[in-house]
Amino acid sequence: MRTHYCGQVTETLIEQTVQVAGWVHRRRDHGGVIFIDLRDREGLVQVVVNPSADDNFAKAEKLRAECVLSITGKVIARSDGTINPNMKTGKIEIVAEQLEVLSMAEPIPFQLDEKNVGEETRLKYRYIDLRREQMQGNLKLRYAITKSMRRYLDSNGFMDMETPILTKSTPEGARDYLVPSRTHPNKFFALPQSPQLFKQLLMMSGFDRYYQITRCFRDEDLRADRQPEFTQLDMETSFMTEEQVMNMMEGLAKTLFKEAIGYEFGYEFPRMTYAEAVQKYGIDRPDLRIDMQLVDVADLLQNIDFKVFAAPAKDPKGRVVALRVPNGGSLSRKDIDAYTKFVGIYGAKGLAYIKVNDIQAGLDGLQSPIVKFFPEQVMEILSRVGAQDGDIVFFGADSAKVVNDSMGALRCKIGEDLGMIKERFKPVWIVDFPMFEADEAAARMVAVHHPFTQPKATTEEILNHHAPEQMLARAYDLVINGLEVGGGSVRIHDTKMQAAVFKLLGIDAEEAQEKFGFLLDALKYGCPPHAGMAFGLDRLVMILGDIPSIRDVIAFPKTQSAACPLTEAPGLVDNAQLEELMLRFRKPQLVAEK
């Protein structure tokens, strides 16, 4: 039904006859001549229907937006006054010789150029939403990225291999989506949160370098950058150290940016330890485009009478930091109140500040409600943070977690509000993560990444519980613009070490065998050292395309409540299906009235 895409008909085809097909983007009647902008995935082309073509003209008069046509006609040059320099096809038009209506369209629920369409409506009519130029561009970018991924990995000896979707439930940090088995009554499959164990088994099988662009599933609360089902580029290698894996994956990232959007990094990505990231930025995924850091000042405030600062300064689990905002002295009281409310979201009880009007005037040159509580320490604090005239210094004082969360978020918020982001992309490798952390609710240790990550410790140290909170993991994350786009680690390839890690995590031998017996058995029969990584494809597309919502880089995403307005999933099933699965409905338990 066509010889060319609409967006490919250019001046090189003048005087040739072409056949194009697509949707009516716009129809205009100019004094008896009808102009149709015909659209397909490659762009627009203008079609002219003259009144002399009686049958074609009669058809064209009845058209509305989004009707589907096939048009055959001659390509001619536009006159000088009608050339559209903003269109790839703007120097030509097609004079219709034959017009075939392939499908008429009813009035659509929203116009493609309409700006304020509700997301629920967009998702309900996703097939129309996807016709918009922006959405077409987003998904083309996604395709360009995946194509570049495959080309890079194929050229580096990786093999594309599939792993199961129906698998066994294993603890990976979020709830599993469970699938009841009809042939095994009362038993369940789980949809994979990642192919972690299978890709390790592939290394034990001798395939050396594996990759897969795969769907993963997590039944967790949604955010702007999360979906219940998502896509990741999953990789695993044998006989490579973490440095070698990181270097190869950095090469992949640079290739993606260059081939997909033409952006080149002229430097090696910096490395930063987890401890340094949290100390300077309050978070393990810092946005380095913002040139501000948290500065510890607890040592200067332990002996003051102002308990708001002194108490957390003395507490081993507390933290007191200062955040200097260059030229932030222009912030109004209203602005400061808004930031105080903002940090409250993260548990902060308030937001102290000092405005630096004239640092040479000492205390008289400062504007603040807190200076009077520690006048002897103020100037040393300002010196430590490098304060200058016109700056404002904010303070956070609370438990380390509250301070890190609130002040780390405030740093990014202020950076965005004051236009402090100057660079387009700023990557960093975060390394030396903690291997374990305490789960106070469960009164046990948990793995920060996952229990198959190799710690920087011996098996004996793990068995002896030798300061597990201080053990580091051979793990690494790639962070770009404050978003974790990829993470990985060196895996445990020794049976005794894996058993020791399980034991430290409170998983006894019987439970370990029940949940991970296939892995423990495989480790016994010759397992190579191996390491891997996974990139979040959806997040990568968001970053490369500067797209604010993850739902705009996925063809058919879910809503914030993990529902699909288009298909109305999830939905009810009939009792016959449930009986086959030996399941039945349970009514929600009502809360008793007090």
Closest Cα partner for 140 from 523, 472, 480, 545? Answer: 545
The angle subtended at Cα 571 by Cα 568 and Cα 574, nearest 5°, is 145
The burial class, CB within 10 Å (0-12 / 13-18 / 19+), for 87 is middle
C-alpha–C-alpha distance, residues 220 and 418, integer Å: 33
Omega cis (within 30) before 570: yes
Instruction: Provide the annotated binding site for L-aspartate.
Output: 172, 218, 449, 491
Alpha carbons 18 and 96: distance in angstroms, whole number:
10
Query: Are residues 14 and 30 in contact, defined by beta-carbon separation less than 8 angstroms?
Result: no
Tokens of 193: 């949160």
Residues 423, 482 contacting (CB under 8 angstroms) = no
Beta bridge partners of 319: 398
Q: In whole angstroms, what is the distance from residue 164 CA to residue 197 CA?
A: 11
Distance of CA 334 to the CA centre of its chain: 32
Q: Give CA separation, 481 vs 255, 305, 401, in Å.
A: 18, 40, 22
- Which domains are assigned to the chain? 6-103 (2.40.50.140), 130-266+473-492+528-594 (3.30.930.10), 290-422 (3.30.1360.30), 434-471+494-515 (no CATH)
Element (H, E) at 545: helix 537-545
Task: Report CA torsion sign: 20, 24, 26, 27.
Answer: positive
Yes or no: say if 35 and 46 are a contact pair by the CB < 8 Å rule.
Answer: yes
Contact 170, 216 (CB under 8 A): no
Nearest-angstrom CA–CA distance, 382 and 297 = 10
Among all chains, which residue has been given the structure tokens 């102002």?
306
Residue ranges at the known binding site for ATP? 218-220, 227, 484, 536-539
**Measured distance CA(94)–CA(225) in Å, rounded:** 43
Amino acid at site 68 = V
- Residue 483 identity (one-letter amino acid): L
Q: Evaluate whether 557 touches 550 at the Cβ level (below 8 Å).
A: yes
Closest CA to 322 of 379, 372, 376: 379
Crossing angle between the packed helical segments 509-523 and 196-204, to the nearest 10 degrees: 40
Per-residue pLDDT of the chain (594 residues; tens, 9 = 90+): 899 999 999 999 999 999 999 999 999 998 789 999 999 999 999 999 999 878 999 999 999 999 999 999 999 999 998 999 999 999 999 999 999 999 999 999 999 999 899 999 999 999 999 999 999 999 999 999 999 999 999 999 999 999 999 998 875 567 899 999 999 999 999 999 999 999 999 999 999 999 999 999 998 876 666 789 999 999 999 999 999 999 999 999 999 999 999 999 999 999 999 999 999 999 999 999 999 999 999 999 999 999 999 999 999 999 999 999 999 999 999 999 999 999 999 999 999 999 999 999 999 999 999 999 999 999 999 999 999 999 999 999 999 999 999 999 999 999 999 999 989 999 999 999 999 988 877 678 889 889 999 999 999 999 987 788 899 999 999 999 999 999 999 999 999 999 999 999 988 889 888 888 899 999 999 999 999 999 999 999 999 999 999 999 999 999 888 899 999 999 988 889 999 999 988 877 765 544
Q: Which residues are annotated as a binding site?
A: 172, 218-220, 227, 449, 484, 491, 536-539
3-state secondary structure (DSSP) of residue 465: coil
- Rounded CA separation 466/462 (Å): 6
